[in-house]
């Protein structure tokens, strides 16, 4: 069994309490006891979910146009390039 530890993304403390859901993406929000700031569950880089990222990268493989991606998905070319570099 995998235990997922949620850590504060501001101070890396794991002393977090649940603090309702984020309004726009329905993810669990956490309030950090150590620094008093809020963290979200699995904050994905640049705010894209894994599924969204895969979808965008698939589209890019079919039609490698960064400008087209920006038009279709509203994703910045810099973001796509950083994803491509990580693969
Ligand atoms: Zn914290």
Q: How far is the CA of 61 from the centre of ligand 1 (A)?
A: 39
- What is the 25 CA–ligand 1 centroid distance (Å)? 21
φ/ψ of 45, rounded to 5, equals -60, 135
- Rounded distance from Cα 81 to ligand 1 centre (Å): 30
Q: What is the pLDDT along the chain (87 residues), one digit of tens a residue?
A: 555 667 788 888 888 888 887 766 667 888 999 999 987 765 555 567 778 889 999 999 999 999 999 999 888 898 899 888 876
Q: How many CB atoms lie within 10 A of CB 39?
A: 21
Taking the centre of ligand 1 as the mean of its atom positions, its distance from the CA of residue 19, in whole angstroms, is: 13
* pTM assigned to the model: 0.47
């Amino acid at each position: 069994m995998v235990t997922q530890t949620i850590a504060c993304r501001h101070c890396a403390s794991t002393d977090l309490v649940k603090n309702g859901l984020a309004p726009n993406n329905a993810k669990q929000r956490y309030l950090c006891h150590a620094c008093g700031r809020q963290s979200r569950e699995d904050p994905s880089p640049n705010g894209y979910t894994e599924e969204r990222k895969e979808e965008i990268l698939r589209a890019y493989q079919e039609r490698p146009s960064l400008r087209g991606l920006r038009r279709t998905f509203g994703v910045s070319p810099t973001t796509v390039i950083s994803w491509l570099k990580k693969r």
